[in-house]
Amino acid sequence: MADRLQELEVFVRVAERANLSQVAREIGLSQPSVSRILNDLEARIGARLLIRTSRKVGLTEAGQVYLDQIRPLLADLGAAADTAAGNEELRGVLRVELSVTFGVRALIPRLPSLLAEHPNLSVELMMDDRRRSLAEEGADVAIRLGLLDNSSMMARKVGQTPRLLVAAPDYIARHGEPSSPTELAQHQVIFGPSDSSGATFQELIDPQVRFVLPESPRIRVSSSAGVTACVVAGLGVAFGSGWMFNAELQDGRLRQLLPDFPLPTIPIHALFPAGRQPSKRARGFADWLSKSLGSS
């Protein structure tokens, strides 16, 4: 049983690192020994799990299916051992899927405290402004801002952030500052990755107060960082989370518009893959993030 468990652990490491030499160094074995373990596993399974060349290692289709099945099992075994030993330390590789802006501006500055608290934990950040499938990315947890899509994934709210309307001082000097939501129809609005193309964009606190965006905006950007760059350049007004604009608001490159008409806050959720209990790493990360965001 011990040999079989080692086979699984070596396979998962090689699949994650895509490098035999690196895995051999990490576990203190020679590269031929790691190759032999993988060969024994494939012989026992009766399927080719890995494509190995002199330059890289990749998963076959069967290997990806096998990885998806055994990774949570190994995580559960580790969590069970830690629980039995009364050990609350997080260890292993935690894969987090999240947007670029939230990662750069909110999560990464907080990571030193997490890694200092859990020295045996490694973090892999899969940062993309497009929302991807956790199963497709192999992520343990995803951080989502905004309303959640209907899905079978488990979700936990870990915080919230203000939703702001901003513009650059130069834009305001040229086009004037709106005094009510209805005046926004006369302004250039920058559409970001989460904006819809429908006429009604956001509803303010007063449900009777709405504004309409142009059907064909002059600027549409596929990333939050691009939205921030456009609004700083004076190309128009933009909506976004406090994380997107905080630095620029503090240094004066942007100004908040219509502060007397606050928009609903943006919820922040941790999402876990469907069909199984979240790993101890994922649950611990969500606990830590909730505390960290709550203290800011």
- Read off the tokens for 206: 């007063």
For 107-168, where are the alpha helices, taking DSSP H only? 111-117, 134-137
Q: Are 289 and 117 contacting, i.e. CB atoms less than 8 angstroms apart? A: no
**Tens digit of each residue's pLDDT (9 = 90 or more) over 99-118:** 988 999 999 999 999 999 99
Residue that has been written with the tokens 């990774």 in this structure: 71
pLDDT of 173 higher than 50? yes
pLDDT reported for residue 181:
83
CA 120/CA 287 separation, integer angstroms: 17
Average pLDDT over residues 165-179: 95
For the chain, where are the alpha helices, taking DSSP H only? 2-17, 20-27, 31-45, 61-84, 100-102, 111-117, 134-137, 169-175, 224-232, 242-250, 280-294
pLDDT reported for residue 154:
83
Contacts for 211-215 with beta carbons within 8 Å, 24 or more apart? Answer: 211/181, 211/182, 211/184, 211/185, 212/185, 213/184, 213/185, 213/189, 214/189
The sign of the torsion formed by the CA atoms of 114, 118, 120, 121 equals negative
Beta strand ranges found along 136-175 (DSSP E) = 141-145, 154-161, 163-167
**154 contacts: CB under 8 Å, gap ≥ 6:** 271, 272, 274, 278
**Tens digit of each residue's pLDDT (9 = 90 or more) over 68-104:** 788 777 766 766 665 555 556 888 889 899 998 899 9
Give me the domains of the chain, ranges plus CATH numbers.
1-87 (1.10.10.10), 89-151+273-296 (3.40.190.10), 163-264 (3.40.190.10)
Q: Rank 22-26, 68-72, 193-197, 229-233 by mean pLDDT and report only the highest.
A: 229-233
Q: What percent of the chain has pLDDT over 70?
A: 80
Collapsing DSSP states into helix, strand and coil, what is residue 145? strand
**Tens digit of each residue's pLDDT (9 = 90 or more) over 258-268:** 998 877 788 99
pLDDT of 163 higher than 60? yes
